[in-house]
Amino acid sequence: MTVMKIIWRSIVPTFSKGVVKPEAKPKKEVSKQSSFNRFAMLELSYPSSMLSEDLSISLAGSNLHIFTLGELKVITQSFSSSNFLGEGGFGPVHKGFIDDKLRPGLKAQPVAVKLLDLEGLQGHREWLTEVVFLGQLRHPNLVKLIGYCCEEEHRLLVYEYMARGSLEKQLFRRYSVSLPWATRMKIALGAAEGLAYLHEAEKPVIYRDFKASNILLDSDYNAKLSDFGLAKDGPEGDDTHVSTRVYGDTRLCCT
């Protein structure tokens, strides 16, 4: 995979906003982070005031695409209710479709677009944490962040579309056949592999939002962890201490 050597504010000045270089090779998915210099959240000096340009420079090489709000309106048909997928603490999520003419190097595909509710409980910090972690982490059992939008006060996230939605929906849907045990085991194993990847990384990540609604399923019931807005860097080396703070919602409480 492309090795990212990113240190905050010490990056390639040629990266231009809104464009992922077409010649950039697609990243290969890896199961270990051994050759991967992920930068830590702590290395971002002023996350709450971080500008879009600063972020795009920091994440140069991550293959994240930067979208305009106008583009995301087109992709989701103006966030129409017929494309509504669900809503959590961050804000509403809509299905959209990217065509292959939008960006060089970005293939035609369905996507899920998450829009920050400006009146909601979460804000820029959670959005930024999500972009920073998912922009750098790649694994078959983590949902793929395709890009983001940061325009004035608007904050959006664009993910690969997961055809079977969340595990919570699959488990608690009314009027449907319950999931076979073999499928449940496949989902449990996939989620565990996602967690193991985060915990065993060179710079470990503590996920802190492990719940059925954050385990997303593709059409083959492959499980992918989503929502890294509460994640934090884990202890490294001999360090064992992790500062704690109560987090979560009524379905989960973590420290």
Ligand X SMILES: Nc1ncnc2c1ncn2[C@@H]1O[C@H](COP(=O)(O)OP(=O)(O)O)[C@@H](O)[C@H]1O
Minimum CB distance to ligand X smaller for 9 or for 173:
173
Minimum distance from residue 215 beta carbon to Mg ion (Å)? 9
Instruction: State yes or no: residue 93 binds ligand X (CB under 6 A).
Output: yes
Instruction: State yes or no: residue 148 binds ligand X (CB under 6 A).
Output: no
Q: Which of residues 197-226 bind ligand X (CB under 6 A)?
A: 213-214, 216, 226
Single-letter amino acid, residue 132: V
Neighbours of 123 (CB within 10 A): 16
Size of the site for ligand X (CB under 6 A): 21
Contact 150, 52 (CB under 8 A): yes
Minimum CB distance to ligand X smaller for 6 or for 209:
209
Instruction: State yes or no: residue 166 binds ligand X (CB under 6 A).
Output: yes
Is 209 catalytic? The answer is yes
Distances (CA, A) of 58 to 65, 68, 249: 13, 19, 31
Instruction: State yes or no: residue 127 binds ligand X (CB under 6 A).
Output: no
Phi, psi of 131 (to 5 degrees): -65, -45
DSSP assignments along 58-84, one per residue? HTTTS--EE--HHHHHHHTTTT-GGGE
Minimum distance from residue 249 beta carbon to ligand X (Å)? 7
Distance CA 13, CA 95 (A): 34
Residue 156, classed as helix, strand or coil, is: strand
Q: Which positions touch ligand X (CB under 6 A)?
A: 85-90, 93, 112, 114, 143, 159, 161-162, 165-166, 169, 213-214, 216, 226-227
Active site residues: 209
